[in-house]
Amino acid sequence: MDWILFLYPEARNLGIYANRPVRGGQARSVHATGRALDIGADLPLLKKLIGDIYTARDLFQVEEIHDYIGAWIPTEGYGAGYRCDRDRGGLLAGWKVYDRPTIGRGGSWTHIELAPTFSDDPELVDQTFTAILEAVAHQASTKKKKTKTGQS
Ligand SMILES: [Zn+2]
């Protein structure tokens, strides 16, 4: 979560650890395991955030993403969700637009679940984000060089 807020300073941490049952249910929430994040953002940022996390889903070992308000995919009022167990590659792999209440009512935030092998390994988390920042920095410097050569 620290890394997410560093990369997206306008996003809000809506909670990570909470030993609570799912809203209106008996089952323990994944938040009780400490591997679920709720991140709040306005619509454009939420769209970017969900897109970025979805793109990097293999790196972060993402198991689920909830898009409650159709920030990323147009929905029919019940939101949309990504689940790694229905991700078989291809466009929008793993996503499903729900036609009935499935992920509960949400708002302008996203709920993300990471595999324990990722979330329980702080070193791996740091390594992954460091690699992403290096890749972004490298892209930026390559672009600059290209622009320069283009001008000369
Ligand atoms: Zn949540």
Q: Is the domain of 105 the same as that of 139?
A: no
Q: Is the domain of 111 the same as that of 145?
A: no
- The pLDDT tens digits of the residues spanning 3-55 come to 888 888 888 988 887 677 776 667 778 887 888 999 999 999 999 999 999 99
Distance 115 CA to ligand 1 centre (A): 14
Q: Residue 43's domain spans which residues?
A: 2-120
Distance 17 CA to ligand 1 centre (A): 9
User: Beta 109-114 vs 80-83: how paired, if at all?
Assistant: unpaired
Q: Is the domain of 37 the same as that of 101?
A: yes
Name the domain count of the chain: 2
Distance 149 CA to ligand 1 centre (A): 47
Q: Is the domain of 76 the same as that of 99?
A: yes
Q: In this structure, which amino acid lies at residue 131?
A: A
Q: How distant, in Å, are the alpha carbons of 102, 123, 141 from that of 13?
A: 23, 21, 31
Distance 67 CA to ligand 1 centre (A): 11
Handedness of CA 129, 38, 76, 63 (dihedral sign): positive
Contacts of 30 (CB under 8 A, 6+ apart): 36, 113
Q: Is the domain of 34 the same as that of 104?
A: yes
Q: Is the domain of 87 the same as that of 102?
A: yes
Q: Is the domain of 9 the same as that of 69?
A: yes
Q: How distant, in Å, are the alpha carbons of 37, 41, 48, 100, 126 from that of 26?
A: 20, 29, 33, 20, 34
Q: For the chain, what is the mean pLDDT?
A: 87
Q: Is the domain of 54 the same as that of 80?
A: yes
Please report where in the chains the tokens 């209440």 appear, as a residue: 101
Q: Is the domain of 39 the same as that of 101?
A: yes
pLDDT (0 to 100) of residue 69: 94
- The pLDDT tens digits of the residues spanning 60-102 come to 999 999 999 999 999 988 999 999 999 999 889 999 999 999 9
Dist CA 60 CA 52 (whole Å) = 11
User: Beta 36-40 vs 80-83: how paired, if at all?
Assistant: unpaired
Q: Is the domain of 99 the same as that of 42?
A: yes
Distance 54 CA to ligand 1 centre (A): 16
Distance 142 CA to ligand 1 centre (A): 38
Q: Is the domain of 42 the same as that of 99?
A: yes
Q: Which pTM was predicted?
A: 0.84
Output the six-digit token pair for 78.
Answer: 């019940």
Q: Is the domain of 90 the same as that of 28?
A: yes
- The pLDDT tens digits of the residues spanning 124-144 come to 999 998 888 888 888 888 877
Residue predicted with more confidence, 148 or 109 = 109
Dist CA 39 CA 131 (whole Å) = 22
